[in-house]
Chain A
């Protein structure tokens, strides 16, 4: 498994699975004994965002920093002052879940100066081969350029998060590897890891390097019995 530093930014296309991956990463690092803070920096999407899953994070002991108006009817691009505290955390790990595309990454640009001064920042670019508009390595690479321009930061690695939700098969994951490698190559970035639903871990671990099993936290309301 790749090394994770103490400041990780997760960016990518709308709906490619940033929030679900960020939550899995947060849970995993917490289980390794780290003190994790998650930042919901999504100012462009009112639905299916980290803040919606606050109870899950709370249960795991993960601190959540989210826009004040998240989950409300106010479509207001405002940051909470609390975000300022995450740039000076010395004894824990920060995961920033950025909004989709360049539009979502613009909010991250607000902190580009602070982040550039920090050491060991990892900015992971999530890709999903099965996502419309980023199905080819060329399209996926072009989108990262737009994101980087918007947030004025450079990605440090690619995460292959190719999936079809509950329908994902081992073949789907395997078939995405060429796409992921080619995208990373076009961007001159390392392919950091490949995610797969946990149920496929056994079947895929020998075949896929740096396999990162994920659970599904981001679910529609009818899958929650309450």
Chain B
């Protein structure tokens, strides 16, 4: 299909503002009479609040002080349920839980005041590990410490063991990971009788914040307004937590009668906000003599922290992705999200899948070894094909060619030759540098899981102005990933215009349609399709009314818009998501069409390990994926490259050091992400098989790269060193210890 702007690397819509420093992020905004706000947090992991004392030589009368008593509505951050308080009133359930809020115009004095608030807590026993939570050492949430559990059953796993030639077992762990967007979180709030509650801030999901504020203030929809400011990265970290900061800023604004700005510094952002859920996975896998999967028995647990937040849905995605892109007749997945007394873990790009995919892809390399075939041969014999059924019972209707992706990735990386060469070189005991090459093959579902999109029922509005400018009104946010640009491209394509004629309206709940949260690799595919449909709808209005004839120019379009508006008034279309009738999902059985479409990928990592220091270096990285039609090649490649970089961090560098539920290395100096000298060339390739229901054939790709990067690296390290890597991050400290075992 010939396209005008789809498939072209048009420059980022808001790029000029960003490269000149004119883009305005929340901390760049200042309102007349604005106060600054800070949060005073729990020093203890779990306990009863005994007393709050305001000490020191602080002019306390100048301060606005807010506690739970000042909340007009319900004391909660409403999300899936309402278990997380906005401010702890009687009990605290994790370190750094918010208890008191302070506001003052002098931000230096404010810090002095924050230090002078003494919170006395009578400690209660706390739990800090998945093991202790599952063992119910203490019950800290609900009846059993379990936020949510899932059972996926396909075929008859128990009936498969007897006929198996091989049964391979393994346990795998992944650690917490900080999103580490470079712009720390922040919000500004203003509250007045006339206007209700308005917040401006760095966020992914304006309508999540909107809902939370309605419940907190007990106000109707129209009395709450949420505006997204330019957002300096999110990666899931600004999915649910911004509701908390917005709530705090709004409470201070309400009490003080002034606008209040809360900006977290890096230390507070790291210690208090969400991280990727730590996980434990156990696999037991049965195979035939010729290496075909007979049964996969998977047990998957994630640590949700102290409150439920998004853990059930993170668990869901992790569960559904746990069995990978393989055809196996018998699959059982048991999974659960459990409570511990750590700050709630939350959304992070990949959303549970990177955890379970790490376990699976590392496990399959071990399985191949047990069966006595090459890792690629094991995958080749078991890759899912069109018409076959995934673990959750979804029949694959897409044209999928995992083997083709794998062969292309191998050709581009020189996989086979290197695997051989490294094996020979590594056997020389004198060499201090060992090399390895490894890969992972995986899939990632785009959009909300199961019936999620049906419930969301997203909307997009589009309006053509009299001058021919076309406005897109959607709550989908730009946070670097390219929403503005691809929406403009999709609309421009539908309307046969240039991107310059399309204007993206700043997400503001007072004006834009609720197009759902900007998460779950859903924006391009699901919301993008709504944009396309809206564009075609506008066009139809113009052509049906004979304002516009085929073969029109941009000038014709503008003239037609002017004439239409003069005659009929505003030219606006609303489009609402309609769930395809052939997609079925059963929430009780946890079975059916989990996602409308999947992205498919094979990633190859090449590493070297200095066995003197156990330092690992990734020397080359090839990422091959099929993501449907690529809307903007530069932006799409940028998404994959950035995701791979985060995956390299997840695998090797990023280690949250916990002490009694508190992150103790909450500084960029001590929580280490990759710099420009730590990364290899990240080589990205797309296969494009247009997906019928995506805009111009596009599927989602944002989360995909987090899934396969870490296991590819772990598998490469295993080849290089002979170490059976079972957990990430693979720090030099743990690897050196394991190397001593191998080489002793």
Does B bind A? no
Chain B residues engaging chain A, CB cutoff 8 angstroms: none
